[in-house]
């Protein structure tokens, strides 16, 4: 099995995750080899640079319960965006 990075929750199954690298959502099962973002132009690591969609959506209730692939869901709506994530 893959080694855990030590922090962050690794999503499982068909759970949607939101990628803070490209601001898009994808299903956990669609992650690329090594746990990289599903989108080929983004190399953010799932589990470290993703937020489970339900958690993200809770903080952004105007976003749908089930996101669309390829669509950006930026956290720039003026709400506070504080989920304990360290940015780089
Ligand atoms: Zn991404």
From CA 3, how far away is CA 8, in angstroms rounded? 12
How far apart are the CA of 19 and the centre of ligand 1, in A?
A: 5
How far apart are the CA of 1 and the centre of ligand 1, in A?
A: 23
Question: Is residue 4 over pLDDT 50?
Answer: no
Instruction: State the residue for tokens 């959502």.
Output: 25
Q: Do the beta carbons of residue 27 and residue 14 sit within 8 Å?
A: yes
Residue 34 pLDDT level (bands cut at 50, 70, 90): very high
The number of C-alpha atoms within 13 Å of 71 and in the hemisphere containing its C-beta is: 8
Q: What is the pTM of this model?
A: 0.73
Question: Is residue 80 over pLDDT 70?
Answer: no
How far apart are the CA of 88 and the centre of ligand 1, in A?
A: 15
Which tens digit of pLDDT belongs to each residue from 63-72? 999 999 999 9
Sequence spans of domains, the chain: 16-59
């Amino acid at each position: 099995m893959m080694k855990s990075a030590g922090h962050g929750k690794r999503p499982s199954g068909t759970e949607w995750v939101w990628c803070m690298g490209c601001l898009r959502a994808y299903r956990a099962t669609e992650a690329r080899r090594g746990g990289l973002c599903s989108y080929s132009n983004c190399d953010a690591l799932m589990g470290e640079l993703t937020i489970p969609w339900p958690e993200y959506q809770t903080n952004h209730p105007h976003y749908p319960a089930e996101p669309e692939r390829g669509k950006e869901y930026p956290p720039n709506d003026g709400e506070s965006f504080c989920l304990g994530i360290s940015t780089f």
